[in-house]
Chains A and B, each alone.
Chain A
């Protein structure tokens, strides 16, 4: 079991965003679906420990999340946020920064290729990328850390159909090649079915369904 959540609650600005969420998320690919504002992104943040739940317990590989050193955990369980937020400089500067934090050797071309970007993107200034390109550069940057779990928040929200198909193909390939586990937040049930085999449905901060993606993300 990758993640086990027991009775997890979280509030923000006095609003209950997650309400007694209990769920088990296994290895492989799981989609987290539900309407906007249902707590999907918050759930990912808790798994990466960008925030801690105010109640309840989360375990990763059988150990409480709080027992992990947060920095080491984040390098292993990489979060790619919905809004691209790269550091100033070139794409390669960003990849090198991430690789250095994780103590990994940088293979820029390989990471860019996995994210569906050509090697010539390495020297591009991030300020001159389109949003779709930035989103893929964010994915490449996460891959530079060689994480074992990727938490993806609406990974194709800023992409056109062609780019979306490319990123989806990339994600499927990643699973095959790197044996990486994916947790994908998406509002699109069809995308959930293309990318994942299991799904969790949230509504108003509560788990309303969990199981095979065909049943949950119809």
Chain B
């Protein structure tokens, strides 16, 4: 494994670009200087903190600490996604299940298939990416689901009135919500290498890895992410749509 030393001086030098961003904002009166400052400070504090945490976990090298960290990520991910899905009643539990299953299945498979060793050095960064992307997909999916139910009340009720179950009446909107949760990653996977270089590959190239290794590792991660994103969007939408209906197959009046 190649490694690379980055000094605090180099990080400080990169702040020049932040200053440039702030200058543009001020010049154009975009009033983003405050947000840019907050973003800069928060990113520094948060990443430094997680860096120490990861270092400690790598040194301890016990699977329990890794699992604890991943659990914290899943819970915070579900809480964050719930804010985006504010039109979906009881969204937290479906999100928690979706992120847990997406994370566990994806990490379980990459270990079982022998792609990565079950070590903190692999599980923590891969788990973070998997859970982060699953969170975004589930949040986008549920956000769309909430909008669709609000917009399609007449059609859902007209279908229920024919004696369709809630599941049948909601099927078209669940399908659309699942699509919108998954499509962003599918699209970016299509254009990867042409329009943008994904982060892992950039990081590895900067760290001095052979391009062929960087590409292969990036492909593994992209494929793993596709799986986890699909699982998360599927579970979140198919579990959450039920909360819009009563046991008597009626569309709840959410006001």
Contacts of B248 in A (CB 8 A): 49, 52, 70
| A211 in the interface (beta carbon within 8 A) | no
Contacts of A48 in B (CB 8 A): 161
Q: Which residue of B lies closest to A51 (CB)?
A: B250
Size band of the interface chain A makes with B: 20 to 34
Task: Output the least CB separation between B155 and chain A (Å).
Answer: 4
Task: Output the least CB separation between B131 and chain A (Å).
Answer: 35
Cβ-defined contact, A50 with B253, below 8 A: no
Contacts of B160 in A (CB 8 A): 50, 74
Q: Which residue of A lies closest to B169 (CB)?
A: A87
Interface size counted on chain B using CB atoms at 8 A: 19
Selected contact of B163 from candidates A51, A52, A71, CB within 8 Å: A71
Q: Which residue of B lies closest to A99 (CB)?
A: B162
Task: Output the least CB separation between A79 and chain B (Å).
Answer: 4
Known: A50-B251, A52-B250. A87 touches B159 (CB 8 A): yes
Contacts of A52 in B (CB 8 A): 248, 250
Contacts of A102 in B (CB 8 A): 162-163
Distance of A18 Cα from B121 Cα, bound (Å): 64
Binding site for A on B (CB under 8 A): 154-155, 157-165, 168, 172, 248-251, 253, 255
Q: Mind listing 16 A-B residue pairs with CB under 8 Å?
A: A13-B255, A50-B161, A52-B248, A70-B249, A71-B164, A74-B161, A74-B162, A75-B163, A80-B161, A81-B154, A81-B157, A85-B154, A87-B159, A88-B172, A101-B163, A141-B162
Binding site for B on A (CB under 8 A): 12-13, 48-52, 70-75, 78-81, 83, 85-88, 97-98, 101-102, 138, 141-142, 145
